[in-house]
Amino acid sequence: MTEAASQVRRPGLSKSRISAFEQCPRRLWQQVHARERSEVDASTQMSFAAGHAVGDLACAQVEHGIMVEAEPDLQAALARTTELVAAADRPIFEATFEHEGVLVRVDILVPERSAAGLVWHIYEVKSSGSAKPYHIGDLATQYWVIANCGVAIASASIRHIDTSFVLESPGDYTGIFSDASLLSDISGIAATRDAMVEEIRQMLAGEEPVCATGKHCSAPFSCEFSGHCSSFEPAGPAWPIGELPNTGARLAEKWADADIFEIAELPEDAGLNPLHTRIKDAVRTGEVYLDAAGVRKATAEWAFPRIWLDFETIGFAIPRWVGTTPYGQVPFQFSAHVEQADGELDQIEALDLSGEDPREAIAEALSGLPGEGAVIAWNAGFERRCLRLLAEVVPCHRDALLSLAERTVDLLPVAKNNYYHRDQRGSFSIKAVLPTLLPELDYGDLQVADGGDAQLAYIEATDPDCPDERRAELAAGLIAYCERDTLAMVEIYRKLAGG
């Protein structure tokens, strides 16, 4: 342990920086040297928040643990860790070690004394539902640093969320974690860390490495420097083969061997499926494909009143309400446009920002929707699942909810089979289709503009400390967004059907 306190010569590397290097040396070089920092997007903010909450809960479940604070500085944290490891009388949270200028903080470090002596167990807490391949590298870095500080390690595990957990009573999270023991997986990787750290230091001391963009830019993390790197590369194809739905990436790889990168250049005998052929024709000619008769035929059985329905949902790593699971999606809002045969539209909505379990309020509002007529959604499996979930947990509205679920039909495949505008870029999400038909209904003018925004707005609005004025502003944004989704479906349908 003496090394932990004494070697603080070259801080600046950490397990996350080593992980960035493993993804791409240029990414780490940019993280260390670049002046410009990209903004943290909504989904990253949400995953940071989930990670902190999960970390706090994991610590709360370990009795008699003691936290090593990062204040006033990491030197103090190293010294405090040295003391606590020497005492070895209780679990340590955020135990801090340093070896060869690589600093790590271990989520949970648990001592075990036996006749054979003192050993330690490492637990790295993750908010994911399983141990991911990139966690192994992180854990190996932890192990390498700690072992080199003279600490005897008996096990090293990823402590992750068990997604089969169901909250049975408020605040009782016993059993929410599961441990993946990975010591045998990390030992070999840890043995490579000396050489890797040396390689990293040499790389960081030099000029920016040149690494071509590719698949590695989005996995395991979406790289924040894609704009920077792309700016040094020749412009790619205008309509890349990779944009073809489903198998586009595989086709792009296959045709790259023949130096074919553009969708329009795919040969006649390329063996494209009907959808890809339609997309190729739209790209080549610039003409929109629309079979309005096909749309009308596919939807002829959709009875009136037609109920155009959309849900917004929230899922927490740590479930908040009894009967819910980690990451289980709970509807907190819906919008429905009810359309009569003569085209008259009524909009009905419900939004629960009380912070209490929203399912009953949402189910009750849904039960007031017409008891007949088609329920229409975009990618309808999601809405159908929400309705069935609500039917299970709010039995007094079960029949009405199951009736809605049974009457639910999907507009997405109708659009997919009968329409394509090349500006969709291979996507049939409503947000890709809408601007090609109805640019005036674009989401750009909305405060809440996508599902991620909606979830962040829900979290902020249900925070007890959220001021009333701000909560009202967020509610207005959520209502406008969800209403836009259902109105967009109605208007897209009318365009597609030639109305």
Least distance CB 314 / ligand SF4 (angstroms): 31
Structure tokens at 325: 């699971």
**Cβ nearer to ligand SF4, comparing 201 with 216:** 216
For residues 28 to 67, the per-residue mask of contacts with ligand SF4, x marking binding by CB under 6 A and - elsewhere, is --x-------------------------------------
Alpha helices in 286-407 (DSSP H): 292-298, 359-367, 381-393, 398-406
* DSSP helix/strand/coil, 48: helix
Give the whole-angstrom CA distance, residue 476 versus residue 478. Answer: 5
Whether the CB-CB separation of 311 and 387 falls below 8 Å is answered with: no
| Choice from 226, 247, 347, 417 touching ligand SF4 (CB under 6 A) | 226
Least distance CB 20 / ligand SF4 (angstroms): 9
| Choice from 21, 93, 123, 225 touching ligand SF4 (CB under 6 A) | 225
What is the number of alpha carbons within 13 Å of residue 253 lying toward its C-beta?
5
Considering the rule CB under 6 A, would residue 366 count as an interface residue with ligand SF4?
no
Whether the CB-CB separation of 446 and 480 falls below 8 Å is answered with: yes
Residue at token pair 């289980």 = 328
**Cβ nearer to ligand SF4, comparing 256 with 476:** 256
The CA-CA-CA angle for residues 63, 69, 73, to 5°, reads 165
**Cβ nearer to ligand SF4, comparing 217 with 457:** 217
Residues that contact ligand SF4, how many (by CB under 6 A): 13
The CA-CA-CA angle for residues 265, 266, 272, to 5°, reads 150
Considering the rule CB under 6 A, would residue 204 count as an interface residue with ligand SF4?
no
Considering the rule CB under 6 A, would residue 27 count as an interface residue with ligand SF4?
yes
What is the number of alpha carbons within 13 Å of residue 441 lying toward its C-beta?
22
Considering the rule CB under 6 A, would residue 216 count as an interface residue with ligand SF4?
yes
For residues 306-335, which are near ligand SF4 according to CB under 6 A? none
Least distance CB 38 / ligand SF4 (angstroms): 11
Give one DSSP letter per residue of 251-269, joined into a string: HHHHHHTTT--BGGGS-TT
Considering the rule CB under 6 A, would residue 217 count as an interface residue with ligand SF4?
yes
Least distance CB 21 / ligand SF4 (angstroms): 10
Q: Contact region for ligand SF4 (CB under 6 A) — 130-138, 213-221, 450-458, 477-485?
A: 213-221
| Choice from 108, 229, 353, 409 touching ligand SF4 (CB under 6 A) | 229
For residues 233-272, which are near ligand SF4 according to CB under 6 A? none
- Strands 102-114 and 117-125, by their bridges, are antiparallel
- Strands 289-290 and 419-420, by their bridges, are antiparallel
Considering the rule CB under 6 A, would residue 24 count as an interface residue with ligand SF4?
yes
Query: Which residues would be at the binding site for ligand SF4 (CB under 6 A)?
Result: 23-24, 26-27, 30, 211, 213, 216-217, 223, 225-226, 229
